[in-house]
Amino acid sequence: MQIEKSLQLRESRFINNGLVNHFATVDDCVKSQLGVQAQYTNSALMAILLRTQDDITVDDIYNAENIIRAWVHRVTVHIIDKADFLSINQLRRFKKCWVHEYLQRDGIDYRHVLDYIDSLEYADGIPSKALSEMIKNKFGRSANDWSRSLILANINERIYGKMAKGGVVYKKFDADYSERQSWHAIFERYLKTYGPATLSDFSHWSGVGSTILSQQISTNQINYFQDNNKIYYYINNANGKVEYPIILSKFDPLLVAYKDKSWILGDIDAKTIWRKAGQIEAVIVAESGIIATWRMKCGANSAAVTVMPIRKISKKMITEIEAKFKRLASRMNRQKFSFIVGEVRP
């Protein structure tokens, strides 16, 4: 019975998250996720493509006008809708965060950094590397280590990133046009895509303390069920049939969305997926649970996929996995494709 409940929870989340009924546009996908973590840009691009229809390619992500690169939850870099960034940023409004402390430690006044970044001309965008060099030339070599000055300017709503094939360029925010939302509204949107989920899950995902959230979120009119002394909230019933295998990218939205990891781990040690230094492995999931981790190494026109099995995978499943990765590589504009399956881990 517990296995059945666990499978039902997992599949409900897969369906609500767009891994079964794929989104028709990049904008719909990214808005539904409320931001896709982009510690590694290619991984975030893959996460979006895995949730969108097959005719969408990486170029559609680059060309999506309202999709930007910005620092959002837990001050980590995300691909996110511009209006959603402004809404969430206003709610958690970082008057001070670690970047202020680091700049102050190096004798740099963060206000001078903001004034300088404001003074630059962004008509066609400034490439990330060029902007970083300009900041370092002005304020010293350490001024933008770990992108601290770019983060500072972004969370103060001065600049945002736009992704392109050649890298990230920075542009200046227009006047504030967004309709700002409440944490309650964000919670309901989170549940539509990530539900069923607990308040602790939402706190973990947003990086906002549960005490603050409990003061701003009302659960009175939200559907819920209780299991194993936890209350799971949901907005919509998941409709669809999960077709395995399911591929999740490195730092996949579903792998960063919950405090409790047991819903997907089964009998696998969490350290296999959630590794040191905050690394989160890409995984392949069958009905039995996680069956492998994987890596994709991309060249200018090539993609090489290596699958590391955690348990034995049938030949039929391997064929299906290879076909999915080949299609994914093509949508990333990589025409040369190679595929390797390693030995089952001891």
* 195-247 pLDDT tens trace: 999 999 999 999 999 888 989 999 999 999 998 899 999 998 888 999 999 99
**DSSP H or E segment with residue 305:** strand 302-309
Work out the burial of residue 205: count CB atoms within 10 Å of its CB; fewer than 13 is exposed, 13-18 middle, 19 or more buried: buried
pTM over 0.85: yes
pLDDT at 186: 96
Q: How large is the average pLDDT for residues 309-326?
A: 97
Per-residue pLDDT band for 2 (boundaries 50, 70, 90) equals very low
Residue 339's SS3 state is: strand
pLDDT at 177: 63
Tell me: pLDDT of 1 over 80: no
pLDDT at 146: 93
Instruction: Parse the chain into domains and list their residue ranges.
Output: 36-172, 246-341
Tokens at 25, concatenated:
């546009």
pLDDT at 39: 87
* R_g over Cα of the chain: 21
Tell me: pLDDT of 3 over 70: no
Closest CA to 93 of 118, 115, 78, 71: 71
The span from the CA of 49 to the CA of 23, in Å, is 9
Peptide bond into 346 cis (omega under 30): no
pLDDT tens digits, 93-127: 666 789 999 999 999 999 999 999 999 999 999 99
pLDDT tens digits, 18-38: 999 999 999 999 999 999 999
